[in-house]
Amino acid sequence: MGLLTFTINVTLDGCVDHQEGIADDETHALFTRLMDESGAMLWGRVTYEMMESYWPAVARGDEEAPPARREWAVKLENKPKYVVSSTRKDFPWTNSHHIAGDLRMGVQKLKDATPAGVLLCSGKLATELDRLDLIDEYKFLVHPRLAGHGPTLYQSGLPATRQLELVSAKPLRCGAVAMHYRRAR
Protein backbone atom coordinates (compact mmCIF):
# COMPACT_ATOMS: atom_id res chain seq x y z
CA MET A 1 0.00 0.00 0.00
CA GLY A 2 1.29 3.46 -0.90
CA LEU A 3 1.20 6.50 1.32
CA LEU A 4 -1.18 9.40 0.77
CA THR A 5 0.87 12.60 1.02
CA PHE A 6 -0.81 15.98 1.19
CA THR A 7 1.30 18.73 -0.36
CA ILE A 8 0.43 22.38 -0.81
CA ASN A 9 1.85 25.90 -0.85
CA VAL A 10 0.92 27.80 2.30
CA THR A 11 1.79 31.27 3.61
CA LEU A 12 2.79 31.89 7.22
CA ASP A 13 -0.78 32.91 8.05
CA GLY A 14 -2.23 29.73 6.52
CA CYS A 15 -3.38 31.07 3.14
CA VAL A 16 -3.46 28.41 0.41
CA ASP A 17 -4.41 30.69 -2.50
CA HIS A 18 -2.22 29.39 -5.34
CA GLN A 19 -1.39 32.96 -6.39
CA GLU A 20 0.25 33.81 -3.04
CA GLY A 21 3.20 31.42 -3.27
CA ILE A 22 6.60 32.07 -4.79
CA ALA A 23 6.72 30.38 -8.20
CA ASP A 24 10.36 30.21 -9.22
CA ASP A 25 12.58 27.50 -10.71
CA GLU A 26 13.53 26.13 -7.30
CA THR A 27 9.94 25.77 -6.08
CA HIS A 28 8.88 24.18 -9.38
CA ALA A 29 11.82 21.77 -9.16
CA LEU A 30 10.70 20.81 -5.65
CA PHE A 31 7.16 20.00 -6.78
CA THR A 32 8.48 18.19 -9.86
CA ARG A 33 10.58 16.00 -7.58
CA LEU A 34 7.57 15.30 -5.34
CA MET A 35 5.56 14.32 -8.40
CA ASP A 36 8.39 12.11 -9.69
CA GLU A 37 8.50 10.28 -6.35
CA SER A 38 4.76 9.53 -6.38
CA GLY A 39 2.77 7.07 -8.44
CA ALA A 40 -0.29 9.27 -8.96
CA MET A 41 -1.82 12.69 -8.32
CA LEU A 42 -5.12 13.20 -6.46
CA TRP A 43 -7.23 16.34 -6.83
CA GLY A 44 -10.67 17.68 -6.22
CA ARG A 45 -12.65 18.97 -9.20
CA VAL A 46 -11.77 22.65 -8.67
CA THR A 47 -8.02 21.94 -8.58
CA TYR A 48 -8.31 19.64 -11.59
CA GLU A 49 -10.08 22.33 -13.60
CA MET A 50 -7.51 24.96 -12.62
CA MET A 51 -4.65 22.64 -13.66
CA GLU A 52 -6.45 21.46 -16.82
CA SER A 53 -6.92 25.06 -17.99
CA TYR A 54 -3.17 25.74 -18.21
CA TRP A 55 -0.72 22.83 -17.93
CA PRO A 56 -1.68 20.75 -20.99
CA ALA A 57 -1.03 23.81 -23.19
CA VAL A 58 2.40 24.25 -21.58
CA ALA A 59 3.19 20.56 -22.15
CA ARG A 60 2.22 20.88 -25.85
CA GLY A 61 4.34 24.02 -26.24
CA ASP A 62 1.30 26.22 -26.93
CA GLU A 63 2.13 28.42 -23.91
CA GLU A 64 5.49 30.05 -23.28
CA ALA A 65 7.07 28.79 -20.07
CA PRO A 66 10.50 28.62 -18.44
CA PRO A 67 12.26 25.23 -18.57
CA ALA A 68 11.32 24.24 -14.99
CA ARG A 69 7.62 24.82 -15.67
CA ARG A 70 7.76 23.02 -19.00
CA GLU A 71 9.44 20.03 -17.33
CA TRP A 72 6.67 19.96 -14.70
CA ALA A 73 3.98 20.17 -17.40
CA VAL A 74 5.40 17.33 -19.51
CA LYS A 75 5.75 15.06 -16.49
CA LEU A 76 2.28 16.00 -15.25
CA GLU A 77 0.85 15.14 -18.66
CA ASN A 78 2.07 11.56 -18.27
CA LYS A 79 1.31 11.12 -14.56
CA PRO A 80 -1.91 9.33 -13.58
CA LYS A 81 -4.35 11.94 -12.27
CA TYR A 82 -7.34 10.98 -10.10
CA VAL A 83 -10.20 13.38 -9.49
CA VAL A 84 -12.87 13.33 -6.81
CA SER A 85 -16.06 14.98 -7.99
CA SER A 86 -19.76 14.52 -7.44
CA THR A 87 -20.70 17.06 -10.14
CA ARG A 88 -18.42 16.28 -13.07
CA LYS A 89 -18.03 12.88 -14.69
CA ASP A 90 -15.90 13.56 -17.78
CA PHE A 91 -12.15 14.17 -17.35
CA PRO A 92 -10.57 14.23 -20.83
CA TRP A 93 -7.05 15.35 -19.87
CA THR A 94 -4.50 12.60 -20.58
CA ASN A 95 -4.31 9.89 -17.88
CA SER A 96 -7.18 11.37 -15.84
CA HIS A 97 -9.51 9.12 -13.88
CA HIS A 98 -12.66 9.78 -11.87
CA ILE A 99 -13.12 8.58 -8.29
CA ALA A 100 -16.85 8.33 -7.67
CA GLY A 101 -18.98 6.83 -4.94
CA ASP A 102 -17.77 6.26 -1.40
CA LEU A 103 -14.80 8.59 -0.79
CA ARG A 104 -13.10 6.42 1.85
CA MET A 105 -13.32 3.28 -0.25
CA GLY A 106 -12.28 5.00 -3.49
CA VAL A 107 -9.19 6.67 -2.03
CA GLN A 108 -8.20 3.59 0.01
CA LYS A 109 -8.43 1.51 -3.18
CA LEU A 110 -6.20 4.06 -4.96
CA LYS A 111 -3.63 3.93 -2.11
CA ASP A 112 -3.67 0.13 -2.16
CA ALA A 113 -3.10 0.07 -5.93
CA THR A 114 -0.30 2.69 -5.93
CA PRO A 115 2.81 1.40 -4.09
CA ALA A 116 4.80 4.54 -5.01
CA GLY A 117 2.21 6.63 -3.17
CA VAL A 118 -0.36 9.24 -4.06
CA LEU A 119 0.27 12.99 -3.98
CA LEU A 120 -2.80 14.91 -2.81
CA CYS A 121 -2.82 18.55 -3.92
CA SER A 122 -6.25 19.95 -3.02
CA GLY A 123 -6.98 21.78 0.23
CA LYS A 124 -10.71 21.10 0.59
CA LEU A 125 -10.30 17.47 -0.40
CA ALA A 126 -7.43 17.15 2.10
CA THR A 127 -9.75 18.27 4.89
CA GLU A 128 -12.27 15.57 3.98
CA LEU A 129 -9.60 12.89 3.66
CA ASP A 130 -8.02 13.92 6.96
CA ARG A 131 -11.44 13.57 8.61
CA LEU A 132 -11.46 10.02 7.23
CA ASP A 133 -7.97 9.40 8.67
CA LEU A 134 -6.49 8.64 5.22
CA ILE A 135 -3.57 11.10 5.04
CA ASP A 136 -0.19 9.64 6.03
CA GLU A 137 2.23 12.51 5.37
CA TYR A 138 2.26 16.26 4.84
CA LYS A 139 4.75 18.13 2.67
CA PHE A 140 4.06 21.83 2.94
CA LEU A 141 6.01 24.57 1.20
CA VAL A 142 5.74 27.42 3.69
CA HIS A 143 6.20 30.81 2.01
CA PRO A 144 7.59 33.86 3.84
CA ARG A 145 4.44 35.88 3.29
CA LEU A 146 1.39 37.04 5.22
CA ALA A 147 -1.48 37.05 2.76
CA GLY A 148 -4.10 38.44 5.11
CA HIS A 149 -6.90 36.55 3.32
CA GLY A 150 -8.15 33.07 2.59
CA PRO A 151 -8.75 30.42 1.67
CA THR A 152 -6.81 28.97 4.56
CA LEU A 153 -5.52 25.53 5.38
CA TYR A 154 -8.22 23.39 7.04
CA GLN A 155 -10.60 26.34 7.01
CA SER A 156 -13.63 24.14 7.75
CA GLY A 157 -11.89 22.44 10.65
CA LEU A 158 -11.01 18.95 11.83
CA PRO A 159 -12.69 16.92 14.55
CA ALA A 160 -9.45 16.75 16.58
CA THR A 161 -5.89 18.06 16.61
CA ARG A 162 -3.49 16.05 14.44
CA GLN A 163 -0.14 15.24 16.03
CA LEU A 164 2.69 15.27 13.48
CA GLU A 165 6.34 14.22 13.59
CA LEU A 166 8.90 16.35 11.77
CA VAL A 167 10.78 14.36 9.14
CA SER A 168 12.70 17.24 7.55
CA ALA A 169 12.81 20.98 7.01
CA LYS A 170 14.74 22.48 4.11
CA PRO A 171 15.03 26.23 3.48
CA LEU A 172 15.00 27.38 -0.14
CA ARG A 173 16.87 30.37 -1.57
CA CYS A 174 13.60 32.35 -1.92
CA GLY A 175 13.00 32.10 1.84
CA ALA A 176 10.32 29.40 1.67
CA VAL A 177 10.81 26.27 3.77
CA ALA A 178 9.94 22.76 2.56
CA MET A 179 8.43 21.01 5.60
CA HIS A 180 7.89 17.24 5.70
CA TYR A 181 5.77 15.77 8.49
CA ARG A 182 4.47 12.29 9.17
CA ARG A 183 1.28 11.49 11.08
CA ALA A 184 2.05 10.44 14.64
CA ARG A 185 -0.04 7.29 15.10
pLDDT at 115 over 90: yes
Position 94, amino acid = T
Phi first, then psi: what are they for 87, rounded to 5°? -110, -20
Instruction: Give the C-alpha separation, 76 to 60, whole Å.
Output: 12
Global pTM value: 0.95
pLDDT in tens, 67-85: 888 888 999 999 999 999 9
Most confident range (mean pLDDT) of 15-19, 108-112, 156-160 is 108-112
Strand partners, 180: 139, 168
Q: Which residues pair with 183 in a beta bridge?
A: 164
Q: How many Å apart are CA 175 and CA 59, to the nearest integer?
A: 28
Q: Specify whether the CB–CB gap between 179 and 152 falls below 8 A.
A: no
pLDDT band of residue 53 (cuts 50, 70, 90) is very high
* R_g of the chain, CA atoms, integer Å: 16
